[in-house]
Amino acid sequence: MNELEPEHLKSAGLKSTLPRLKVLDLFKNGQERHMSAEDVYQLLRESGDNVGLATVYRVLTQFEQAGLLVRHNFEGGKSVFELNEGTHHDHIVCMQCGHVEEFYDSAIESRQKKIAAELGFTIHEHSLQIYGDCTKTKCPHRR
Amino acid sequence: MNELEPEHLKSAGLKSTLPRLKVLDLFKNGQERHMSAEDVYQLLRESGDNVGLATVYRVLTQFEQAGLLVRHNFEGGKSVFELNEGTHHDHIVCMQCGHVEEFYDSAIESRQKKIAAELGFTIHEHSLQIYGDCTKTKCPHRR
DNA sequence: AATGCAAATGAGAATGATTATCGTTCGCGG
DNA sequence: CCGCGAACGATAATCATTCTCATTTGCATT
């Protein structure tokens, strides 16, 4: 169990409050890498911390804007967040069990840049997800 | 103004009803290629057709399952549909004006297949969007 | 062309995710 | 230790979408 790190919040221009530290700690030291607002809310609740759902949503959005987290809009309507570790990557999601794997492919990245340029766009960000079924042997995850 | 085409519905196993014909006509002969359920609802309403919003949602989903339309989940929480013309492509969306352009890149497609295989996934579908700003000269679209 | 029935529709309620409101509490500089 | 504005928690509100159910319609049959 590592200690909390208020300096990360400070440097992001956010004052160091209990809910923010707890959410950040969940992402840094928790077992789940990809979590929705509801996931975070439940996990905090289970560990005895009484944090409001509205606060969870606020904090996640602030962290995203501060660059601490990255938001993903997978299918299913809910946003999923993960720690921003500087290394961009895309996702492949199992439609059976919800398991998520990350990947990065420089060929895809460079093609995207080229395409955007050809079409006269200044690229801001992109979103690439592959949806499929992971092989039965590794599939038994939760949904 | 082309005539409606009930045989498309027949062959899709859907009986030919007024709402379905109107929605299909909007996609085939309308000016917008990419439309949300709300867009379709408003456009039908403006042209004097009284179609319920629930019906629009139902019909869009049925058309998607029948393979007549393709659904896209762009950022912003709402689904957008377009006519399925057999040619797969991805999208680049202007964050300023909402303008959408389509593109297809075989290099990206093949890389995706390879990645899925390496990670042990059977690929079902994928979703790739690039978000950016289109150059000011072409930007003046509606949002 | 009249009849019957299951499928489809439309209006509005219900749902799920997310955001806004507002009175109370907390972090932190003085 | 005080005070103030930022942050919080509970809850109401909003948005997109789905569900419910009474009514209407497509269409095959007399």
Q: List CB contacts of B61: < 8 A, sequence separation 6 or more.
A: none
Q: Is the pLDDT of residue A143 over 70?
A: no
- Which residues from the 84-143 window of protein chain A have CB within 7 angstroms of nucleic acid chain C? none
Which residue lies nearest C8, CA-to-C1' measured? B17
**Is A143 in CB contact (< 8 Å) with chain B?**
no
**pLDDT by residue, tens only, chain B of 143 residues:** 344 566 778 777 889 999 999 999 999 999 999 999 999 999 999 999 999 999 999 999 999 999 999 999 988 889 999 999 989 999 999 887 778 899 999 999 999 999 999 999 999 899 999 999 887 655 655 43
DSSP secondary structure string for all residues of B72-90? EE-TTS-EEEEE--S---E
Predicted confidence (pLDDT) per residue in A99-139, tens digit: 889 999 999 999 999 999 999 999 989 999 999 988 755 56
Mean of per-residue pLDDT scores for chain B: 88
Evaluate whether B113 touches B123 at the Cβ level (below 8 Å). Answer: yes
Give residue for tokens 């929605």.
B23
Kindly list the distances between the CA atom of residue B126 and the CA atoms of A16, A116, A128, B34, B132, in Å, as whole numbers in the listed order. Answer: 39, 19, 7, 18, 20
Contact call for residues A96 and A110 (beta carbons, < 8 A):
no
Q: Is the CB of residue B117 less than 8 Å away from at least one CB of chain A?
A: no
Say yes or no: Cβ of A20 under 7 A from any atom of strand D: yes
The tens digit of pLDDT for each residue in A65-100 reads 999 999 999 888 899 999 999 889 999 988 877 788
- Tell if A23 CB is < 7 Å from nucleic strand D: no
* Domains parsed from chain A with CATH numbers: 6-83 (1.10.10.10), 90-132 (3.30.1490.190)
Q: Which of A84, A90, A88, A98 is nearest to A133 (CA)?
A: A98
Cβ-Cβ contacts under 8 Å, B107 against chain A:
107-108, 111
Beta carbon of B54 within 7 Å of strand D?
Answer: yes
